[in-house]
Structures are given as structure tokens and as C-alpha cells.
Structure 1
């Protein structure tokens, strides 16, 4: 590889063809153009979406400070993926490429999905480790960037050697039977039972994107999943009406939360109130700061959401802790979201600040030592509060804390 950092990008060019006299020209393809140390490079795609994705990958690589190869015109991470001859080698290179500009939860989902399909895309080679060993080798070692990998145990090292030797060629995925086998693996949970439609859809999207990347690198002629039809139950956005509480039941729950423990419940009551009255996600509530709150003495208030504190495994976060400091979900980094809040929530938040104060960083909701509240901690409190507020016959009601309530989704409450 002859490296250089002198790279410039151009706008995507639409290629058109004539349809006959008097008719407008039709776009038939899109070309990504860039220069590497004054050498012009290009790559043409059938759709604008593929071209934009490819250009985005090139720009991200340059932004990370990767060197570009003079001969191929590709950044180092793409060269590794293009030179991969097996699915396993390609998956490792793909993760290295996508990791820097993915959120912790996206990294976890990507690793999980690829760990499901990689053991399936192997030949019948003797000495196959058990499925648990293969999964651990992939999730904890192979499918994380090199700088984050722990020292491999003998079991993991053996599983990795087997995967390297047994992995099918990347081009084998053009055979429909291998693509179908991978999708079948995504449709099952670890215990062999059927995965929920939403789980399958999420994992399939990861696998589909990885194969799109292989198409961009011209390692596959087309995405093989587009030719495989796997019948799965359709997911729906319909909410289980049995799980939706009315305002009176919600207030019962919020009162019950204050009876959970000497300090934990009372400190969490306002956080749950934000989820109910304001429709905040748990990560948004965890990141809520005093300066984000306009809490007048009377009337409606306003929350200006800017930061979230999503929780994930330390292996996937940038901070090396269980929570990352990020912007709002599905929005650009500096976007904010304004949430009008009713007087009842204004009063709850004013009382919370007066009674419990705020953390050193201004956060409203924290542990007694100032740390972030884990998902398991507030789920435990919520479960206990439900046992106080509801009888077993009403057990489906709001089984998990979240945004689906009568206050935030009135159209779903009948």
C-alpha cells in the first residue's frame, strides 16, 4: 500500500441517457468521484442511495485520519475489507470500519447480529467448537476493534483459529442457500425459539448493510438478501392496550415508587414522572440537567432536551463506562428537542430539586454517590412499585417504564 493523506471529494454525478427526441433524459447510474494525491478515482452505482453511502464511508475514513492507497484510491479500512477472502475476515474488517461513527447500542447490535450469522457461514470442518465458545470468541474478541480486545483465552484462541479456517468465501453468499441459512439463524434466539419480528428485522438490517458494503467494494455483484424471501410474522406498532395506564393509575404508580426503599424510590419518582408526563426516553431522563428545565411557579414549564445517557456494555462505549454522553436519538449531535410539561410535572420537578438538589454536573437524577442510575436499578424499583399499586389481575399494566402512556400517546388509549 502506497499511503497518502492528500484526498479531495467531489459531488456525486448523475449519469443520464437519452430516451428519444423530445423526451427528458433518464438517470441510469450515479458516480462517486474523488482524487487521491491528484489521481482521479471514481466508482459507479445503480442507485443514488448506494453512491451516497459509499461517499459517506470515504469521508468518514478521511475524517478519522486514515491513509488512502494511491493505487486503489481506498482508505486503509476499505482495503482490508476488499482484500478479505472469507466472510469472517470481511466481517472483522467491516466492524473496524463502522465502529468509529456508531453509537454504543448500534455497536452492540452490530456485533450481536454478525455473531449470529458468522458461525453459520462455515464449512463442515472437523473440530468445531460448541456454539457458545464461537459466540464468545466473536462478541468478546473478533468483532470489536483490535485496540479493545482482551487477551484471548486458550478457548477463544482455538475458536478463532477454527473460524479462520472454516469460514466460507465471501462470494459463497451469492448462493441463495447460504444467504437463507444466515437469515434463518437471525430468526432464532439462542435457545432455539423464534425471535420477535422486531428483533429479526433489526438484525437483518445489520446483515443487509454489511452485504451492501461488500457490493460497494465490488466484492459481490448484488446484495444476495434481495433474492431471498423468508416469511416472518409482520411486526406492528400497535400497543397492547392492557399495558396502558390511565392518569389515575399512573399517579398511583408514581406514589407507590416513593415507598420503594428509604432513598432510591423517592429520588426516582420524578424521573418516572418525566417519562409519563413528558414522554422522555429513559436515556433522556438520565441526562436531564437543571439548566434544561424552565420551571415557573405556576403554569406550564418547558424541558429543552440536549444530552442523553444511553446505557450499554463497557465494551461498546467510547468512555469505557456503562453510559456514554450523547446527543438526542435520531438527531444531529447539536440538535435539541423542546418538551412542554404540565403544571403537575413542574411542581414535581421543583420539589425534587428542593429536596434532593442536583449533581455536580447539574443532573437531576443520580445515585446517592452522584453516579448514573442503571437500567436494572430503576427497573427493580418499578417492579416493586407495580406490586404495591396493582393487583395481579392488572399485571400487564405498564410492565416496563417508558414512553407509552395515556399522557404521551392519547390516541392509543381509547
Structure 2
């Protein structure tokens, strides 16, 4: 064992409670109180608290499985887990006109410095995939030419079988910041087929013609050919917002993150009357999750319900 690791282990042994101590709920409650705080002592976010509490719960369950503890001590503590907001904020959703204006604005980001082919123009088609095909950013980053069917006319389709989420390189097997993984919420060998409108087909065909593809077929890459980093495309997106939106809109939650383009796509499909199972299949959601997350983004439902109630009252 390396010396620095050995010192860390010795410190952990002296600073940690024994397994016997963990049977006492008085010793466990301070842990729950601690995970509800940030490093600066302020209250942590609800999602952070729930995630940390889940990790602690699984840790105790593993100890019970190994018969190191007779039962999970968290089950004996009355500690309220904060509620989290699962629904999408409708204020982040752009309409089709705003989405197209943002895509146009992207082509101007970095234009002066790059002789008309700046970072924004290189990445515009990637953002278009998030809007027109509801791809997650990690799915768009890893999209390959062989995943796309792009006919000269009419609708095409994208067949996804992997994504490239960005993680700390210390936690990947390859040492890269983007690890090749399967699709979110799906089995390792599952695929997702997404029909794409002619507008996106045209954008992708033009992108391939202008920028080509990486040796592994990736459509989107950095200027050096690497995987596009989240810091890079987020910076480009923020610049595009300032070009396409009014100052009041820039200060608002409207399309604050690239991920909000996916929210806009799913909301558009639902509001357009596409059946929920079909929307869920294209977006890679379960139907129950889809309706719960996007419940507030389905426009026009209040008026419909109000009219139905009025009809009953006057019947």
C-alpha cells in the first residue's frame, strides 16, 4: 500500500465510528444532519440531500447483508427527507421561433475569430439534434454518421445505441473524461430509433459536408478532433442566448441550459397531440415519468378542463 494511502487509512480508522456504535441511533442522526449541509455550512439542495441519504442507506443495507449490523439504523430514525421538484419549469421552454433564432445565433458565435467557421457554427447541428430529436447532450456528443439515415428528401431517422456522458477522468476505465456507455434508463444492448424531420436532415447533411466526421464517425468534435466538452458547448450556448434573446429573456430561465432544448422538444410533441407512449419512446422515457416530469409544460389543458367543468355545471 502506498504511504499516502496508508496514512489515509490510519486516519479513517481512528476517526470512524465502530460498527457497534452504528447500532445507536444517537450516533447516526448527526450523520443525517451533516449530509444536509454544504461544505460552507449552508443548507444543501434537496436533490443533493436525497442523493447522499440514499448512498448512506445503501451503505447500511450492505452492512446488514454482511451481518455486520442487525438492521438498518436509518429505519429507526424519524428524519424527513426534503421534497424535490421533478417537473420541468415551463419558463425554460422555448417556442419553435425562438429555437430557430437560437440556432441561427449559434452560427455567429466566434465568427470573427475563425474566418466564418467559429465554434458556434461547428456545434450548431449538435444543438439542433437536442431540439428536433430531443437528444440528451451526452447522446448528441456521441452521435455518429452511421447512426443517422439522412435521405435527400423527406424524414430521416437516428438510431442510438450509446451515449458519452462527461465524468471525472479518475473514475473512468480509459482515463478519458467522456466514457462510452449505453443509453440512459435502458439495457446495455437496447437501441432507440428517433424519426427526424426534413429540417434536421438538411442541417446534418450540411454539417457533414462542411466539417466531415471524426475517424470513429462522430459528427461533432472539437477543433482538435476530440470529444466536445460540456464547458465548451455551454459557453457557446450562453453567447448565443445573448445574441438571440432580449436582455429580459437572457436574465430569465428561458433556455438557460442546452438541456432545455430537449425539454422544448418533448413539450412541443406533447402539445402537438403526439401520443404519450410515442413521445416516451422517442425521448427515452417511461410514460409515467414523461407525464410527471412534463405535466406543467402541456399547454392548453387548463382551458380544456375549465370548459368541461363549465359544461357540466350548465347541463
Q: Please state how far the C-alpha of 1:172 moved relative to its aligned partner.
A: 1.8
Q: Of 309, 312, 315, which residue of structure 1 is paired with 2:164? A: 309
| Residue 353 (structure 1) aligned with residue 208 (structure 2) | yes
The structure with more strand, counted as a fraction of residues: 1
Q: Note the C-alpha offset of 1:177.
A: 2.3
Structure 2 Cα separation of the partners of residues 202 and 392 of structure 1: 35
On the 8 A contact 1:246/1:405 being kept in 2, the answer is no
In the alignment, is the contact (CA less than 8 A) between 1:301 and 1:346 conserved in 2?
yes
Counterpart for residue 397 of structure 1: 254
**Cα deviation code 1:324-372 (max 9, x no counterpart):** 1111122222111111111111111111111111100000000122101
**Pairing 1:343–2:198 present:** yes
Task: Report the alpha carbon displacement of residue 308 of structure 1 after superposing the two structures with TM.
Answer: 1.2
> How many Å separate the matches in 1 of 2:78 and 2:154?
55
Structure 2 CA distance, aligned partners of 1:212 and 1:327?
Answer: 27
The structure carrying a bigger helix percent of its residues is: 2
Aligned to 1:61: none
What are structure 2's unaligned runs of at least 5 residues? Answer: 271-296, 300-315
Alignment partners' CA distance in 1, 2:197 and 2:20 = 58
What residue in structure 2 maps to residue 171 of structure 1?
20
Quote the offset at 1:230 in angstroms. 2.2
- TM-superposed deviation, 1:316: 0.4
Q: Name the CA distance, whole Å, in 1 between partners of 2:79 and 2:13.
A: 28
Shift of 1:413: 4.9
Q: 1:327 aligns with which of 178, 182, 194?
A: 182
Report 1:10-409 matches (<5 A): 152=4, 160-261=9-110, 262=114, 263-395=118-250, 396-402=253-259, 404-409=262-267
In structure 2, the partner of 1:117 is none
In 1, the alpha carbon distance for the partners of 2:106 and 2:298 equals 23
**Secondary structure of the equivalent of 2:257?**
coil
Cα distance in 2, alignment partners of residues 216 and 160 from structure 1: 24
TM-score after normalising by structure 2: 0.78
**Higher RCO (CA 8 Å, separation ≥ 6 residues):** 2
CA–CA distance in structure 1, aligned partners of residues 158 and 3 of structure 2: 45
* Alignment TM-score, normalising by the size of structure 1: 0.60
RMSD: 1.9
Partner SS, residue 208 of structure 2: helix
C-alpha deviation, 1:151, in angstroms: 6.9
- Counterpart residue number, 2:302: none
Which whole-Å CA distance do the structure 1 matches of 2:264 and 2:60 have between them? Answer: 41
Cα offsets for 1:187-236 (capped at 9, x unmatched) = 12222222221221122222211111111111111111222232243112
Summarize the Cα distance change of 1:199–1:218 in structure 2 as closer, same or farther, 3 Å threshold. Answer: same
Task: Give the conservation status (yes or no) of the 8 Å contact 1:244–1:413.
Answer: no
Distance in 2 (alpha carbons) for counterparts of 1:191 and 1:251: 41
The structure whose Rg is larger is: 1
Gaps of 5+ in 1: 1-145
- Note the C-alpha offset of 1:288: 0.6
- How far off its partner does 1:160 sit? 4.6
Maintained 8 Å contact 2:23/2:69: yes
Residues 277 and 408 of structure 1 are in contact (CA less than 8 Å); yes or no, is this contact kept in structure 2? Answer: no
Q: How many residues align?
A: 263
